[in-house]
Structure 1
Amino acid sequence: MAGDDIRAVTALLIAALAAEGTSTIRGMYHLRRGYSGLPAKLASLGARLTIDQETP
């Protein structure tokens, strides 16, 4: 159920943006596959994101 994975990692990303401190999210390949432009859009709004490459 890839759709569930994409929504789950998106929810984790939003929660991480709201949290204080540093957050680490694994499984971002789901986000890149489904919402590939979202990290860049969030960064343009001021979000500080560092994305490391990972394999699925």
Structure 2
Amino acid sequence: MFKGLKQLYPGANIAAIDYDAGVSVVNQANRIKLMMSIANGLDRNCTNKAIRET
């Protein structure tokens, strides 16, 4: 599934979050926080690039 999404959206930030009973809530939260920090960094890079091009 990830491969198909990456082919359609090469710049997509995709993270697998396990919601099984054996997975801790802290682990889930950490994965989401990591995904969001990567997205924030990518957004900053795009904004800086757009500013330099103008």
Measured against the shorter chain, the TM-score band is: 0.3 to 0.5
Relative contact order (alpha carbons < 8 A, sep ≥ 6): 1 or 2 greater? 1
Q: TM-score, normalised by structure 1?
A: 0.34
Q: From the CA coordinates, give the structure whose radius of gyration is larger.
A: 2
The structure where helix makes up a greater share of residues is: 2
